[in-house]
Amino acid sequence: MEVYRSTKATIDLGAIRRNTQRILKKYPDYRYYMAVVKADCYGYRGNLVVDAMLDGGVNCLTASLVEEGLSLRQSYPQIPVLLFIPASKDTLHIFVQNRLWATVATLEQAKDAAQIPGLQVLIRANGGSDIFGGPTEREEFEQIWDTLTQGKCSLIGIYLHSYNGESAEETLAEYETFQRMTAGVDLSGLEIVSISNSLTLPRHDKLPFCNSCRLGNILYGIESEDPDLEDTFRLTSQIHSVFPLKKGQSVAYSHAYTAKEDGERIAAVPIGFVRGVGHVVIQNGSLVGIDAPIGMLGYGIPPSFRAAIDDG
């Protein structure tokens, strides 16, 4: 169907591929480079973006929901897929059937996972701020470790989710918690030991026992620490219409803006606020999303204009 709106969100697949290649070249000493593609690649829209990352060299995909994992498995039958959200007991058989890697964070989750033959499991270690809980003390952690290693499942890895990678103090405290918890176990036999993510990878040295890293926003160029990364997203539009307001006249939901004087002008730009970009097509080798709802937004409008935001 032909689309008539002037708004386009352009995702540069070549830039995503080149960013991936640069990151792998700059940080070469990892076994697994795990691309975070949850939420439909952060809204970038699907498999074409994943393809660009795989072309760039990543060799594992990560998401959050079981539904996401099943979609990835259907599209990429040979690529490892890890789901970050701890699996509920009633979905563990789905992980086995579809060769998805499951996450556990608590002892109760470990007990459930330990009962499932063929299930491949990673421990989500708690550095102190993890929303999924899990122990921060060595004795409690070892209970999870023993439950999984002595159960019917296969413990294949462990990862730490850092919550403020831009803070050296907080990140180092999380690293210390991780090392204190795991001091009594042998991590060398695990296929995956991951500490680094997009924010910590360029800011902190690789720990010697780590063999995997998780790459989220850094692949999309949202990473100010590396000037060589390219922007991968561009939003463009055109002014749809301009109209004058009278003093006291209000526009948009909840009267987002009220004119303070006669003659103020409002520009309507079809960018949208809530629903965002709706449709996806291919143009000139790039992934292009078109069909944002009409909204009132001030980007790129001369100072003489006033603007409010409206979903239209």
Both 172 and 56 in one domain: the answer is yes
Kindly tell me if the per-residue pLDDT of 126 is higher than 50.
yes
Single-letter amino acid code for the residue at 248: G
Residue 3 lies in a domain: no
Both 194 and 266 in one domain: the answer is no
How many C-beta atoms lie closer than 10 Å to residue 46's C-beta?
A: 15
Both 49 and 190 in one domain: the answer is yes
Both 159 and 24 in one domain: the answer is yes
Q: What is the mean pLDDT of residues 138-144?
A: 94
Both 135 and 254 in one domain: the answer is no
Range of the domain at 136: 13-215
pTM of the full structure: 0.81
Residue 115 lies in a domain: yes
Residue 243, burial from CB neighbour count under 10 angstroms (0-12, 13-18, 19+): exposed
Give residue 184's pLDDT.
82
Question: What digits encode the pLDDT tens for the residues 98-110?
Answer: 999 999 999 999 9
Both 75 and 180 in one domain: the answer is yes
Categorize the per-residue pLDDT at 238 as very low, low, confident or very high, splitting at 50, 70 and 90: confident
Cα–Cα distances (Å) from 250 to 247, 262, 304, in that order, read: 9, 12, 18
Both 43 and 161 in one domain: the answer is yes
Residue 228 lies in a domain: no
Both 107 and 201 in one domain: the answer is yes
Total domains, the chain: 2
Both 164 and 74 in one domain: the answer is yes
Kindly tell me if the per-residue pLDDT of 283 is higher than 50.
no
Residue 244 lies in a domain: yes
Both 60 and 114 in one domain: the answer is yes
Instruction: Tell which residue, 212, 309, 196, 203, has the closest CA to residue 252.
Output: 309
Which tokens belong to 303?
């100072």
Question: What digits encode the pLDDT tens for the residues 15-43?
Answer: 899 999 999 999 999 999 999 999 888 77
Residue 100 lies in a domain: yes
Residue 224 lies in a domain: no
Which tokens belong to 15?
């830039």
d(CA 266, CA 16): 36
Question: What digits encode the pLDDT tens for the residues 166-211?
Answer: 888 999 999 999 999 999 899 999 999 999 998 889 888 999 999 9
